Amino acid sequence: MPPKRVTETTTTGDVSLTEGEISESVHKLLGPILSGSSPSYASYSSQIYFTKHRTSQTPAVTPNLRLLEELARARLPSEAYNYVAGGAGLESTVSGNVSAFNTYSIIPRMLRPVLPQRDLSRTIFGQKLPAPIVMAPVGVQKLLHSDGELGTAKVFGEMGLPYTMSTASSTGMEDVARANGVGNPRWYQLYWPTDDELTRSYLDRAKASGYEVLVVTVDTWELAWRPRDLEMGFFPFIEGVGTALGLEDPVAQSQLGFNATDRMATKEQKEIANLYHVVSTSRGVSPRWENLHKLRTWWGKGPIVLKGIQSVHDSKLALEHGMDGIIVSNHGGRQVDGAIASLDALVPIVDAVGGKLTIGFDSGIRCGADISKALAIGADFVQLGRPILWGLALDGEEGVRHVLKCLLAEFDLTVGLSGCTGLSDVSRDILATRYTSSIRSLL
C-alpha cells in the first residue's frame, strides 16, 4: 500500500507531507508551522523563512524594526513624516524615551522548563487578552495611508488586542468600531473638551459603539512648541485631517448651526468646523482633578484610565480620585522637552501604586525586548504607537499586520529565550539595571 499523503493548506500553496516517510510526531511538529496555523507568536519567523524557501518572496515590509522609520521617511511627504516623528523642542524627550531602555539589561536563564507555546495572556479590566498589548490612541492616520484608522483597527481586532480610538482620528468613531469587529476589545481616548455637553456626546457615542474603556489624556490640553511642524507651518487639523469625530457629532453640529460633513457645506463652513474641533479639545486651560467626578458620572461603571501620568504624586492622586488605571506616558516626547523618560518614571510609580491601579506604559517602545523590559519593571500592559504607524505608512493595513506580528514574535521569543515559561515569569528578577536612586527620589 502506498504511503498516505497529508496536505497542509498554507498561505503560499499546498504542502504535501507523506505519512510513512515521516513519523506522526514529525507531522505534528511541522504541520502547524507549514500551514501557518501555529498559535505561537514566535512562529511568524518560521513562516517568513518557509515562504522565502517556497516562493522566493520576502516580506513587503522589513522585519528589521530599526529600519521602519527610515523607510517610512523615504515614502511619506515631509509634512506627514515630521508630524509623526517629531517632538517638543529639541526632542530630547523623544530620544530619552528610547535610550532609557538601554539602562536595563535582560539576564537570560538557561535549562528552564520553557515550552514552544508560552502563555503571554493577561486579564486587563476584566477581559483576558492574548498578550498585554494595546494600540496607542494615535489620530490623523490617513496622513500616512488611505487605509488609516480602519486598517489599524481591523488588524488589532483580528488579533484580539485592544484598539484605542483617538479623539483626533481621521475616521469617524462609528466607522472605526465597525472595522474593529463585533465583540473585539476597543477603548476610547478623550481629549477632554471645554464644553460639558460636547464631552457627554462623545462619551455616549463611544459607549453606544462598544468602546469599553475610557482613556483620558491629561497632558495635551495645549500643544507644545513643536519646531518641525512650525517650520513647515503644518497643522493637519486645520486641513481637516483628524477632525472627523467633531464634525460628525450632533452636538457640535447644533452648536455650529450647520453640518460640515454635508456635501453642500461651503469651504468656509468646513474651515470653521475644523477650527472649532481643535479649539474645543485643545482647551488652553488644564483640566482639574476635582472635575474627574463628572467623567465618572457620564461614563458610568466602565474603567477610566488617565494617560500622561509621570510622577508618583499624580499616580496617588489618580488612585484617590477613583480612577481604575493610569498610563505612564509623556506623549512620546511630544509635549515637554527635557521631561523624564517614560521608562524611568515607571519604576517608582509601580512601586507606589502597583496592584492598586492598572498601570499601562507607552513612549519609547521600538522592539519586542522593549516590551519585555516594560512588563518586567511592572507595567500591566504596554501601548504601541510609532512602529505601528510606520508599518501603516509602508503598506497600509498589511503593513500594520506585519509589524504587529513582528513585535509579538520578537516579544514571545525574548520571553522564552530569557528562560521565562510565560508572562508570569517576566519580572524584575530578569533585569539588571544602572537605574540611579537620585532620579527616583525626585518623583
**Is 386 annotated for ligand binding?**
yes
SS3 at position 355? coil
pLDDT of residue 95: 98
Alpha-carbon distance 47 to 35, whole Å? 9
Alpha-carbon distance 388 to 138, whole Å? 10
pLDDT of residue 24: 78
Alpha-carbon distance 428 to 161, whole Å? 25
pLDDT of residue 202: 98
Q: Are 405 and 62 in contact (CB under 8 A)?
A: no
| CA distances for 313 relative to 286, 319, 417, 442, 443, angstroms | 17, 10, 37, 10, 7
Alpha-carbon distance 223 to 87, whole Å? 11
pLDDT of residue 12: 39
Identity at 93, one-letter amino acid code: T
Q: Which residues contact 429 (CB under 8 A, 6 or more apart)?
A: none
Residue holding cell 469587529? 181
Indicate the burial class of 84 (C-beta count within 10 angstroms; 0-12, 13-18, 19 or more).
buried
pLDDT of residue 285: 86
pLDDT of residue 440: 53
Nearest Cα residue to 75 out of 61, 86, 54: 61
**Is 145 annotated for ligand binding?**
no
**Is 254 annotated for ligand binding?**
no
pLDDT tens-digit profile, the chain (443 residues): 444 444 444 433 444 445 455 677 777 777 776 666 677 999 999 999 999 998 999 999 999 999 999 999 999 999 999 999 999 999 999 999 999 999 999 999 999 999 999 999 999 999 999 999 999 999 999 999 999 999 999 999 999 999 999 999 999 999 999 999 999 999 999 999 989 999 999 999 999 999 999 999 999 999 999 999 999 999 999 999 999 999 999 999 999 999 999 989 999 999 999 999 988 888 778 999 999 999 999 999 999 999 999 999 999 999 999 999 999 999 999 999 999 999 999 999 999 999 999 999 999 999 999 999 999 999 999 999 999 999 999 999 999 999 999 999 999 999 999 999 999 999 999 999 865 454 455 55
**Is 438 annotated for ligand binding?**
no
Alpha-carbon distance 373 to 75, whole Å? 31
**Is 371 annotated for ligand binding?**
no
Alpha-carbon distance 124 to 89, whole Å? 35
Exactly one of 27, 53, 145, 331 is catalytic; name it: 331
Alpha-carbon distance 130 to 121, whole Å? 4
Domains and CATH numbers, the chain: 5-55 (no CATH), 70-440 (3.20.20.70)
DSSP letter, residue 213: E
Q: Are 324 and 303 in contact (CB under 8 A)?
A: yes
pLDDT of residue 27: 72
Question: What is the CA 204 to chain-centroid distance, rounded?
Answer: 23
Active site residue 402: no
**Is 246 annotated for ligand binding?**
no
